[in-house]
Amino acid sequence: MSTMTMAKAINAGLRAGLENNPKSLLMGEDIGDLGGVYRVTEGLKADFGASRVMDTPLAESGIIGTAIGLALRGYRPVCEIQFDGFVFPGFNQITTQLAKMHSRSEGALSSPVVIRIPYGGGIGSIEHHSESPEALFAHTAGLRILTPSNPQDAYWMIQQAMACQDPVIVFEPKRRYWLKGDVDTEKPTGDPFSAHVLREGTDATIVAYGPLVPVALAAAKAAEEDGRSIEVVDLRSISPIDFDTVTESVRKTGRLIVTHEAPTFGGIGGEIAARVTERAFLSLEAPVIRVGGFHMPYPVAKVEEHYLPDIDKLMDALDRSFAY
């Protein structure tokens, strides 16, 4: 057991993945000598060489397209997209080629490509650097989507993604890169596509993922002072979603708040609300309440605190839920 930041945990996970499979390699803009803009890949080029930790041109469509070709020839490429908003030049390759290859070939071909995308706000930056586009990819069949909320998950999820036969997008919450936590490098965290109940409760459930998990835990702790017992579920996987764990929690608590940084309009929270309503309608004591970003471009740093979900917004959502 050791203590690491999330960035260091991902670095260690990538290192383990490279060591375990000689066919694995990293690709991305400035990931070599610089170690990426967040230094997540720092030191890996020095240890594994330029043929396995490759700096690429500033062309996301080229990065993804090349990775698909490498995967079809037996390699295991891991692509880094420098910022969330930069993925869109590669969106066509991801959704029309990478996600469809297995189905198109009737199972004869697989494309085990991993795409790492730092996402979310809270870093004092602007649109293109602080966005949460996960719902756009979740809508595309053929992609698996993971997002860690702590160093332990980050260390193991990246390795599990590298070992997966399907394309996997790993959304890394960039404002949590410096979050420290214990990492057990000997014991995996189990199925990466399952949700985890991080805090038991009886009165309401908060479902969160990625950067908002610490916020949800803080809100649950604050609600304790009001005599409310709040269960917190870390979704961990955005596609597929572990609806069984979420539904089981809601059947116990009777109330559900879903939170994410992405806009609530067309967001993952809406899908969760619909599924829970279908599965556990008679258990609900109140409507499912979503807490997320506004349906607008990500704002400038001066006002981003008003855009992002925080403890106050979650506490208000709990108050509204208990008012029913």
Residues 261-290 have pLDDT tens digits of 999 999 999 999 999 999 999 999 999 999
Give pTM, 2 decimals. Answer: 0.96
Of 22, 17, 13, 42, the C-alpha closest to 30 is: 42
Sheet holding 289-293, edge to edge: 196-199, 230-234, 204-208, 256-263, 289-293
CA separation for the pair 189, 238 (Å, rounded): 17
Q: Which residue has the tokens 């599990």?
A: 160
CATH code of 2-183, in short, is 3.40.50.970
Return residue ranges of the chain for CATH 3.40.50.920.
196-322
Q: Are strands 2-5 and 180-183 parallel, antiparallel or unpaired?
A: antiparallel
Note the pLDDT of residue 165: 96
Indicate if the pLDDT at residue 72 is higher than 90: yes
Of 10, 245, 235, the C-alpha closest to 118 is: 10
Give the percent of the chain with pLDDT over 90. 97
- Going by the DSSP 8-state scheme, the letter that residue 300 receives in this structure is P
Note the pLDDT of residue 189: 86
Mean pLDDT of the chain: 96
Written as six digits, the tokens of 224 are 């304790």
Q: Looking at the DSSP assignment, which residues form a beta bridge with residue 233?
A: 197, 207
Instruction: Let me know if 102 is a catalytic residue.
Output: no
Do residues 130 and 304 touch, judged by C-beta distance below 8 A?
yes
Of 311, 10, 37, 302, the C-alpha closest to 155 is: 10
Which pLDDT tens digit goes with each residue over 138-197? Answer: 999 999 999 999 999 999 999 999 999 999 999 999 999 999 999 999 988 889 999 999
Three-point CA angle 174, 170, 293, nearest 5°: 55
Confidence of residue 1 (pLDDT cuts 50, 70, 90): confident
Indicate if the pLDDT at residue 126 is higher than 90: no
CA separation for the pair 191, 36 (Å, rounded): 28
Three-point CA angle 104, 109, 112, nearest 5°: 110
Catalytic position from the list 129, 139, 196, 306: 129
CATH code of 196-322, in short, is 3.40.50.920
